[in-house]
Structure 1
């Protein structure tokens, strides 16, 4: 719940002369109710704010250690600046402004709300603008700028009605506007209007998603009942509200006890009034929120103790009230430096922008009649020139592309023919070389056979040693062939492995020899395997390539 300070309208009574100085203070200013953003950020709407670690820490301690909470809020603001998340940046700035308001540092609160409003206006964020207008209405009211306060309450209400109609905001935000007007008119002593808007609160609340009992509205209803001298009903409602805040927001008990104290004062029961007002002051020391109630409670206690003839206590509280008043509203206070003469930065900036736009528009209208014909003529000439130029340029580009395409096609055709011829020649050389190796192996085998048959007349050992020196193994023969084959057909193995990764080394060898149109006999000689093994390998290859019976293995491998 955002900070909610109820303002208590003064009750005129005759005072002993000893305390006449109390009347010299601006009582209306004392009892200004700080109800900034009631419901504004507490109800559920279509737009949702993001959380970060700094926001969570700040919210957890803002009523306990405001200085540390301010530090965390500033860290959150820096984080959203870096992330360029304007919506959540505005929310963090508004949260910090709210915290300053709790501490009655209205100057910093005011400046931050204007900063947030400028960002919301630039980003066209009506959701944030509506809630900030609401807060600014209260800040203006604190210094009796009632016209401006009503203006911003009205702006907030109109914008929220528009957002609710567009289903971009929950109706609970409308309730918060009526609630603000209840307090505004009550502070000004216009209880009739305050009661009218209280009825509007109840009617509008029926349209919200959450129809549960609301302690804030009931507390206002209780105080207004006291203005009709219905003291028992007033106290009953305020005690109900007290129970509500015992469970939901203990810091708000500062306000509830203060209201009870004032109702008992109006009733003339000064003993009970003293008890509740002192409770409110005691709670102010625990919770660092609703700080303006210290001023209100001291002022009320000065009156109550005076009525009870406890002049020493009355003097003490009157002096405390005066000290706080000077601190918050005195000439040298930060609040007066910022707010006593409020400069409407946003309004002035927007007005200047409008005036500049208006002047610019007038100048354009004055010159438009004189230069319209010239501009039209120049435009027609430029368009005609561009059409002609574009047509010629397109023709030239098309002609150039066609010529380049034809030339490139011829070059590619010649290159393919040349490469094909070279490849064919090299493969022929490779085949010839392989056949020579096969012939050499066959010759050696025949020679061995001949030696074996005539070994009685020949030194077989010496000749076998000589044959070993010139005979190569099938493995060395294949390595020599494969090295030359790879040099000629560089991408052959690469394509095979990419398309058929499960091919083994023997499969690759058979594929290479099939590509060069080797016979099964030559393959067996070159690879050093049997004729039947070659046939088996070819059969397995067909299965791996998934070839039909009518498909030729050599043609298929040649196409790879």
Structure 2
């Protein structure tokens, strides 16, 4: 019975390994699981721990929950307490995941509950384990579960009922598990289910049916290279031949094969169970010497098993430390890369800004230079136009001046000619009738003293000699109108005779007028009147 109960416990452990029936999409977890099914716990733990560290860094709730779950699966064999801690952490993360992905969170939650149920079974807390597995069943049995969790829960409940010797209930749940596994074609768990069904039929003394299930389990386990399944099936077959046929050689053959396979596993529990089965066989043969040797081997194995558990815990801590150190170094490298990246970004940004600034300055200076050239060209054109305009004005002024001078000259000549004509008339009249002399003289005098000619003269003279009269009057207020006429004629550089003719007076009178003018102008005897007038 002890061997039977031990087989049930081992079957429960196999049930736990099925928690990961549905593969993860995380590459590190996939690698870890590949190592775990090969019984390479250290390598598996390292991958799961690295996946967890990355998930925490990226704040990826799904990967955190999943990595904690697999860390629990990987750890509980060496430390039930550690496995339970990881399972609880995973459960909390799946609770957080419900806000964003309820379906995955639900599946993950029940995987965690099933893991905790299996750990409770190892701790012999069967009632708690049963409660958790039934909770999983109640939630998943009416849903299309593709993760395999429902079948595992059935198996777990069946195993607990079997330990409690409630065979009918155990058979019921084992059959339900078998239906789930066959429906999903889950070959990883079918050998375990076949063995459990076979054990129930064996207890009912249904020899052939139980043997058929054991052989079916072995064939499937060998086909799928499931070493743990092979060991369970071989031990079950050895016990069957021992109990029903008392065929010691066949029973020992199966148990030795199981022991050979178990030696290659890191979990020494399987080798211990195979040796315990051999001890039962040797006891049945009353071969107590070999029984004693085998019991010594079990003691050594158990010592190494518990030592291995301790080493496994230490190794797990070492792996955690190594992964943490690796992550610390990666963080430092990442920080250095970030600094380098930031520096390069700043350099590129500064270079870009400088290029933009220099491009803008070049464009701005080029535009200013172009504008300056255009402005210079416009100024040159303006200066040229102003020069041309100035030349035109000067030309116009010169033309006007020449015209006025010609007009002035014409008036002066006209006045001279008129007065000369009048002088000749006077002369002729002086030779004829004396009676008409006075009338003619009056007539001639009348036409001689006309202001119109002087007005025209003054207008043209002022247009040629701007403000000439004004300047003289301002400087010499006592100067008279006749004095101004003398000054104007002197300005025209006329002779005394010409001035006498224009003024219709004698040359001596002109000389007298010039003499009075000198006094009014306050000129010294050595100063030339003509030069003075020309300089005004």
**TM-score under structure 1 length normalisation:** 0.49
Contact 2:134–2:157 (CA under 8 A) maintained in structure 1:
no
Per the TM alignment, residue 72 of structure 1 is displaced from its structure 2 partner at its CA by: 2.8
Give CA-to-partner distance per residue, 1:256-287, whole Å, 9 cap, x none: 22222222232232222211122122112223
Which one of the candidate residues 223, 243, 251 is aligned to 2:199? Answer: 223
What does residue 129 of structure 1 align with?
109
Alignment gaps of 5+ in structure 1 = 1-7, 12-25, 338-425, 444-560
Are 2:198 and 2:214, in contact at CA under 8 Å, matched by a contact in 1? yes
> 1:70 aligned to 2:50?
no
Higher relative contact order (CA 8 A, sep 6+): 1
Q: CA RMSD in A?
A: 4.1
Q: 1:80 to 1:264 in 2, by over 3 A?
A: farther
Query: What pairs up with 1:394-473 in 2 under 5 angstroms?
Result: 433=379
CA positional deviation for 1:438: 9.4
Q: Residue in 2 aligned with 1:60?
A: 35
* 8 A contact 1:221–1:234 mirrored in 2: yes
Q: How many Å separate the matches in 2 of 1:160 and 1:324? A: 40
Given that 2:12 and 2:155 are in contact with CA atoms closer than 8 Å, whether structure 1 keeps it comes out as no
Matched, 1:98 2:73: yes
Partner Cα separation in structure 2 for residue 28 and residue 244 of structure 1: 19
Match in the other structure for 1:174: 150
Deviations 1:182-217 (A, max 9, x none): 2222233222211111232345557x5548893332
Q: Give the 5 Å matches for 1:84-483.
A: 84-101=59-76, 103-124=77-98, 125-161=105-141, 165=143, 169-170=145-146, 172-204=148-180, 208-210=183-185, 214-252=190-228, 253-267=230-244, 268-289=246-267, 291-324=268-301, 433=379
Shift in Å, 1:250: 3.0
Q: CA deviation at 1:314?
A: 1.2
SS in structure 2 at match of 1:215: helix
Deviation at 1:100, TM superposition (A): 3.0
Paired residue for 1:474? none
User: CA 1:437/1:225 → structure 2, altered by over 3 Å: closer, same or farther?
Assistant: farther
Instruction: Provide the C-alpha distance between the structure 1 equivalents of 2:166 and 2:297, rounded to a whole number of angstroms.
Output: 29
Q: Distance in 1 between matches of 2:42 and 2:57?
A: 23
Kept in 2, the 8 Å contact 1:141–1:149? The answer is yes
CA distance change for structure 1 residues 320 and 100 in 2, over 3 Å: closer, same or farther?
farther
**Structure 2 residues not aligned, in runs of 5+:** 99-104, 314-371, 390-536
Residues 257 and 280, structure 1, Cα contact 8 Å, conserved in 2:
yes
Matched residue, 1:558: none
Residue deviations 1:121-147 (CA, integer Å, cap 9, x gap): 344433222111112112112232121
Report the 3-state secondary structure (helix = DSSP H, G, I; strand = E; otherwise coil) of the residue aligned with 2:21. Answer: coil
Q: Using the alignment, how far apart are the partners of 1:32 and 1:172 within structure 2?
A: 16
Compute the displacement of 1:223 (Å).
Answer: 2.4
C-alpha distance in 2 between matches for 1:329 and 1:285: 16
Q: Which has the higher helix share?
A: 2
Could you say if the C-alpha distance between residues 60 and 251 of structure 1 is closer, same or farther in structure 2, counting changes exceeding 3 Å? same
Query: TM-score scaled to structure 2, two decimals?
Result: 0.51
Q: Structure 1 260/28 Cα, relative in aligned 2: closer, same or farther at 3 Å?
A: closer
Cα deviation, residue 73, structure 1: 2.5
